[in-house]
């Protein structure tokens, strides 16, 4: 039986980073993956999603092109199959890069379904990706669970008729009429993508505003942009059941109030759950908490030899945080270096069109602990002037009135994720509003507005 210092189950963003850093620091490392080398982000998440966002935005640029003097064929059409094939070629390329990166690091790769036999033994059995591989057992001093998460469907009758983001990436044809259920990251992003590709989209959610958890002003602004983008919103609604529409295909969505919508596809974007099935957690005695592996900030589970990183432990559920967790764990185990990341100032983005970028506290979070001054700005980006495209940018700063420290920065508008990533450095560094004011503007840009907001919009007292 092969023996390892560290064995990682799951070659997604977190697992791969953990394995590589451990190997770089002299550990003997093995890693098992059953489906996708590179995991959800590369195959069923961030990367293909962003390529789809680009495809949708390209349609918009074509629409605007005549206003800038370009003679383009109209109406232009979108070829879903061609796009999906191109996207798959890119994903295959990245898949290969992940495999060679792990091999070059001297890590032993196992393709198959890995499960715990006990606290130090793993069995790897054939999976659809490698049906002919033999069953193997390996032993490891330390084991890292990094199998990520998987979409959940609502427990309503006919839920199996819906698809999730997993299936959407591989549909053979574009659904022309779509109902999206859920207005978190995935619901809002896919509503935008499909509408941008020309589908008719209805977005159903149970809150009054989309994107629960984000700053309220941001949420209101996004709701307005969703309308402008031609998506029909149904706030305050809950689905009751789905019914098949007979031989022509299609699905009927029935809401709790009895209203019905007949569509080509219903997409459930209703959250994700930890991918713990068939991991053998019971055999090793690993405890779960609300369906996720219970692990502390140091990634330790209740079993001393077993650790958990990324979505499987339900903390931040984002790629960069899984990477950071994997990196920190590998260093802690094999070469402590005192490195840290500031998870409190974690930047986040929602890739709608226009996208949202946010870092630090929302106004609602901030006023629980601070007296705050709020600066906001709304303006039409220059790019939209000639095509007369509607839709304003929103920029917002949440500043501690007493210390002048910038507690949060929020933006909805073109390039918001790029701009907020840079501003996140400043917020992480504890920047004050005065320092923002001291920064000379870069003109003409949208980002310059963050250093030119002189007049407060309002001042709000602490409301603990
Ligand atoms: P979210 O948790 O973001 O959103 C889930 C949505 O489903 C919410 O609108 C929620 O409503 C709704 N919902 C949940 N249960 C029910 C129910 N029983 N009935 C009706 N509606 C329901 O999950 P997503 O699936 O959008 O994304 C999963 C995770 O993936 C995100 O949390 C994020 O961590 C990650 N992700 C990050 C991205 C990025 O960084 N850009 C992109 C995509 C995913 P309510 O608000 O009322 O609970």
Mean pLDDT by 10 residues, the chain (464 residues): 97 98 98 96 97 97 96 91 97 96 97 97 93 95 98 98 97 97 98 97 98 98 98 98 92 98 98 96 97 93 98 94 97 91 96 97 98 98 97 98 98 98 98 97 98 97 96
Ligand 1 atom nearest residue 318's Cα: 34
Residue at 145 is within a domain: yes
Tell me, yes or no, whether 222 and 287 share the same domain.
Answer: no
Q: What local confidence, expressed as pLDDT, does residue 297 receive?
A: 79
Ligand 1 atom nearest residue 348's Cα: 40
Q: What local confidence, expressed as pLDDT, does residue 200 receive?
A: 98
- Ligand 1 geometric centre to CA of 153 (Å): 11
Q: What local confidence, expressed as pLDDT, does residue 303 receive?
A: 98
Q: What local confidence, expressed as pLDDT, does residue 233 receive?
A: 98
Ligand 1 atom nearest residue 185's Cα: 26
Tell me, yes or no, whether 244 and 173 share the same domain.
Answer: yes
Residue at 464 is within a domain: no
Tell me, yes or no, whether 7 and 105 share the same domain.
Answer: yes
Q: What local confidence, expressed as pLDDT, does residue 248 receive?
A: 80
- Ligand 1 geometric centre to CA of 344 (Å): 21
- Ligand 1 geometric centre to CA of 188 (Å): 9
Residue at 72 is within a domain: yes
Query: Candidates 182, 214, 312, 412: which one to mutate for ligand 1, based on the most atoms within 8 Å of Cβ?
Result: 182
Around ligand 1, the residues with Cβ closer than 6 Å are 154, 182-187, 189, 205-207, 212, 238, 269-272, 317-318, 348-351
User: What is the extent of the structural domain holding 121?
Assistant: 2-150+273-334
Query: Candidates 270, 318, 352: which one to mutate for ligand 1, based on the most atoms within 8 Å of Cβ?
Result: 270
- Ligand 1 geometric centre to CA of 269 (Å): 6
Tell me, yes or no, whether 407 and 423 share the same domain.
Answer: yes
Query: Candidates 50, 150, 184: which one to mutate for ligand 1, based on the most atoms within 8 Å of Cβ?
Result: 184
Tell me, yes or no, whether 131 and 63 share the same domain.
Answer: yes
Nearest CA to ligand 1 atom 28: 271
Query: What is the domain-level CATH number for residue 73?
Result: 3.50.50.60
How many domains in the chain? 3
Nearest CA to ligand 1 atom 17: 154
Q: What local confidence, expressed as pLDDT, does residue 226 receive?
A: 98
- Structural domain ending residue among the three candidates 285, 306, 334: 334
For the annotated catalytic residues, the residue numbers are: 443
Q: What local confidence, expressed as pLDDT, does residue 370 receive?
A: 98
Tell me, yes or no, whether 141 and 289 share the same domain.
Answer: yes
| SS3 assignment for the chain | CEEEEEEEECCCHHHHHHHHHHHHCCCCEEEEECCCCCHHHHHHCHHHHHHHHHHHHHHHHHHHHHHHCCCCCCCCCCCHHHHHHHHHHHHHHHHHHHHHHHHHCCCEEEECEEEEEECCEEEEECECCECCCCCEEEEEEEEEECCCEEECCCCCCCHHHCECHHHHCCCCCCCCEEEEECCCHHHHHHHHHHHHCCCEEEEECCCCCCCCCCCHHHHHHHHHHHHHCCCEEECCCCEEEEEECCCCCCEEEEECCCCEEEECEEEECCCEEECCCCCCHHHHCCCEECCEECCCCCCECCCCCEEECHHHHCCCCCHHHHHHHHHHHHHHHHCCCCCCCCHHHCCEEECCCCCEEEEECCHHHHCCCCCEEEEEEEECCHHHCCCCCCCCEEEEEEEECCCCEEEEEEEECCCHHHHHHHHHHHHHCCCEHHHHHHCCCCCCCCHHHHHCCCCCCEEECCCC
Ligand 1 atom nearest residue 350's Cα: 41
Tell me, yes or no, whether 326 and 374 share the same domain.
Answer: no
- Ligand 1 geometric centre to CA of 151 (Å): 9
Nearest CA to ligand 1 atom 14: 270
């Amino acid at each position: 039986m092969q023996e390892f210092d560290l064995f990682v189950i799951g070659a997604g963003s977190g697992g791969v980073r953990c394995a590589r850093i451990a190997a770089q620091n002299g550990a003997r490392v093995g890693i098992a993956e059953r489906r996708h080398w590179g995991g959800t982000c590369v195959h069923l998440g961030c990367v293909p999603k962003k390529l789809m966002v680009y495809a949708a935005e390209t349609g918009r640029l074509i629409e605007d092109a005549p206003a800038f003097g370009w003679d383009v064929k109209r109406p232009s059409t979108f070829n879903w199959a061609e796009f999906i094939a191109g996207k798959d070629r890119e994903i295959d390329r990245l898949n290969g890069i992940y495999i060679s990166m792990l091999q070059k690091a001297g890590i032993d790769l196992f393709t198959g379904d890995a499960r715990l036999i006990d606290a130090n033994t793993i069995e790897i059995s054939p999976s659809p990706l490698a049906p002919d591989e033999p069953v193997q057992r390996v032993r490891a001093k330390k084991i890292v669970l990094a199998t990520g998460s998987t979409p959940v469907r609502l427990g309503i009758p006919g839920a199996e008729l819906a698809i999730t983001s997993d299936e959407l990436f591989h549909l053979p044809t574009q659904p022309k009429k779509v109902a999206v259920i859920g207005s978190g990251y995935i619901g809002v992003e896919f509503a935008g993508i499909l509408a941008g590709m020309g589908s008719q989209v209805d977005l159903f959610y149970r809150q009054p505003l989309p994107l629960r958890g984000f700053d309220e002003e941001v949420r209101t602004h996004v709701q307005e942009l969703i309308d402008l983008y031609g998506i029909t919103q149904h706030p305050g609604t809950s689905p009751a059941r789905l019914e098949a529409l007979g031989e022509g295909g299609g699905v009927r969505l029935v809401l709790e109030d009895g209203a019905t919508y007949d569509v080509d596809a219903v997409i459930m974007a209703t959250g994700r759950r930890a991918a713990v099935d068939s991991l053998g957690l019971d055999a090793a005695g690993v405890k779960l908490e609300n369906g996720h592996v219970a692990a502390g900030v140091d990634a330790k589970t209740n079993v001393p030899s077993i650790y958990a990183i990324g979505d499987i432990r339900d903390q931040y559920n984002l790629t960069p945080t899984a990477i950071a967790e994997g990196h920190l764990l590998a260093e802690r185990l094999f070469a402590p270096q005192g490195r840290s990341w500031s998870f409190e100032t974690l930047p986040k983005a929602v890739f709608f069109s226009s996208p949202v970028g946010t870092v630090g506290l929302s106004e609602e979070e901030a006023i629980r602990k601070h007296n705050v001054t709020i600066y906001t700005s709304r303006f039409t980006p220059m790019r939209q002037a000639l095509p007369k495209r509607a839709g304003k940018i929103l920029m917002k700063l949440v500043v501690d009135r007493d210390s002048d420290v910038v507690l949060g920065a929020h933006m909805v508008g073109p390039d918001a994720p790029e701009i907020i990533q840079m501003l996140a450095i400043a917020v992480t560094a504890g920047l004050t509003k005065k320092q923002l004011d001291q920064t000379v503007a870069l003109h003409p840009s949208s980002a310059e507005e963050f250093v030119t907001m002189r007049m407060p919009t309002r001042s709000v007292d602490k409301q603990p």
